[in-house]
Amino acid sequence: MNKGIKIVTIGGGSTYNPELMEGFIKRYDELPVREIWLVDVEQGREKLKVVGDLAQRQWDATPYGVKVHTTLDRREALPGADFVTTQFRVGCLEARIKDERIPSLHGMLGQETNGAGGIFKAFRTIPVIGQIIDDMRELCPEAWLINFTNPSGMVTEAAIRHFGWKRTIGLCNVPTIAEMTEHKLLGCEREDLSYRFIGLNHFHWHKVYDKQGRDKTMELLEHINEKNGGTPVNIYMAPMDMDLLRSMGMLPCGYHRYYFNEKAMLDHSMEEFRKGGTRAEQMHRVEAELLDIYRQPELHEKPAQLALRGGAYYSDAACECISAIYNDKHQRMTVSTRNGSAVKCLPEDCVVEVSALISAAGAEPLAWEDLRPSMRGWLQMMKAMEECVIEAAITGDYGLALEAFALNPMIENGEESKRVLDELLVAHEKYLPQFADKIAELKAQGVETDDEVVRDLMRRGL
């Protein structure tokens, strides 16, 4: 890597990319990027052109002379890559619309990483990450895979445990949001606190200590229901039960609201659905507005409007991780990585989201003490659900898909959940070849969705 770094980003048309470029530009002294390749698929051709042009203008406004390449052929981009970042969405936002609308029509929560929507995003994504790894094994066998594609924990586990790419680290901006915001609640600076995270992606807890080693967790916990209490902006802040949280003694991830306050979250989701459609439809409109802004030829930096898209501190997580590996920093970060002995109640070879030291050797997870029974039980159930999802995504086993639905706390068991599963399979037929036989059977039985928006997407081949 002494001739400069080659970065390949799969999902190169993502509207998040201006922030990623900003992150690399800001760190150029420690990350001497030589070239960047942005890769997308035919469906994202126009977005790739718009985002790629802006990315080049961002670099042209610097003294660094970095070239941004765009391509629809990842095999053209991968040879000699040092780092491959993944941030793609199979089926684009239209697929997310189906993930969220179909469960909503059956009175269930539609959300892109939790519940039925998250399971189907994994079904579409995991086979593709396997194909990417096949190409990396041939074209850039020494590259690191830095995964930001949701559901990040399950995709990362598939990459490491099932497809054998050990040089994989999964990232999420949620822990970073906590670290970048919570210190303000204590009236101190970020560097005055240290953090320890344990759990799974979008299902973790953390504790916080000051420079003297004093535990500040319970003090911060009292702010958990405040607007700036560390919950990501895309998650509705249904009040969490303080007696429950005080008993657990740790700060929960913002996504715990979907599990600990399920009815309030569902009610809010259904109200939004009735008034203005799913969040995916809202993001579709925001993305169109962002692309119009990106097309402005005088724009050469990340626009402020990108904050509306969510994903705050994305570049800090991705670029810091790459820098920690490249510079052998032994830097503490929260990542998804092989468990080892970090979380004692989970298998050693599964993937967990924990605090780890990041160096040239990858992620070294930091071990935790035993967890309270309730937290141990939650993690074991959620990991079992994830394992069913991953195996079903790889094999196309319908029974395993049913098991995953049965285990997921956000999906009601019974005939209604089976209908949601079947409708989602048919709606996503284009991206689920592993389930082809079952989908053909369901279509022969007349399974389809009643939702006109979804049916219109299907008619248009989206």
Q: Which residues are catalytic, by number?
A: 255
Closest to 313 measured CA to CA, from 11, 13, 16: 16
Name the amino acid, one letter, at 367. Answer: A
Crossing angle for the helix pair 415-427 and 436-444, nearest 10 degrees?
A: 110
Rounded Cα–Cα distance for residues 53 and 51 (Å): 5
Specify the amino acid at residue 129: I
- HSE-CB at 16 with a 13 A cutoff on CA atoms is 26
- What is the C-alpha separation between 141 and 157, in angstroms, rounded? 19
CA 427 to each of CA 201, 286, 451: distance values in angstroms, whole numbers, following the listed order: 26, 24, 11
Neighbours of 337 (CB within 10 A): 25
End-to-end Cα distance, the chain: 40
Strands 5-10 and 33-39: parallel
| Helix (H), strand (E) at residue 243 | helix 242-248
DSSP structure string for 380-416: HHHHHHHHHHHHHHHH--HHHHHHHHHH-TTS--SHH
To which residue do tokens 């937290």 refer? 375
Q: Are strands 203-210 and 251-252 parallel, antiparallel or unpaired?
A: antiparallel
